[in-house]
């Protein structure tokens, strides 16, 4: 990949992340590259290619980072709520009455 293609991909990723308000993970999936590559491209290389665009991307990434712990907590809460409802459904899904003992 020559420098022009690399620069174009970095700028394309920057516009994608800004237009769609996505995360590094979603951007990596969209461009079929690793999260590390996206992070390095947007946080280091973009600064030299287009400083103004870098400032916008940095602001969005900083915002994503600042709410990361909130999303993680919501995901965990949702996961355990699903597990609890699934467990309760298992006990309520008997066709025959459940008897203790003989």
Q: What's the chain's average pLDDT?
A: 82
Specify burial of residue 49 (Cβ count, 10 A radius: 0-12, 13-18, 19+). Answer: middle
Is there a domain that residue 93 lies in?
Answer: no
Is there a domain that residue 79 lies in?
Answer: no
Tell me, what DSSP letter sits at residue 41? I
pTM of the model: 0.64
User: What do you get for the CA distance between the two ends of the chain, in Å?
Assistant: 74
Tens of pLDDT, residue by residue over 29-77, are 999 999 999 999 999 999 999 999 999 999 998 888 877 655 556 667 6
Q: What is the pLDDT of residue 96?
A: 57
Q: Do the Cβ atoms of 45 and 14 come closer than 8 Å?
A: no
Is there a domain that residue 35 lies in?
Answer: yes
Question: Using CA atoms, how far apart are residues 26 and 35, in angstroms rounded to an integer?
Answer: 9
Residue ranges making up the domain that contains 23: 3-67
How many domains are contained in the chain?
1
Is there a domain that residue 75 lies in?
Answer: no
């Amino acid at each position: 990949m020559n420098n022009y293609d690399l620069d174009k991909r970095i700028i394309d990723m920057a516009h994608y992340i800004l237009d769609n308000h996505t995360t590094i993970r979603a951007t990596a999936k969209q461009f079929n590259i690793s999260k590390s590559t996206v992070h390095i491209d947007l946080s280091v290389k973009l600064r030299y290619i287009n400083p103004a665009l870098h400032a916008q991307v940095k602001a969005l990434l900083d915002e994503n980072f600042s709410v990361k712990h909130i999303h993680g907590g919501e995901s965990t809460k949702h996961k355990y709520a699903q597990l609890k409802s699934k467990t309760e459904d298992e006990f309520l899904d008997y066709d025959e009455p459940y008897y203790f003992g003989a």
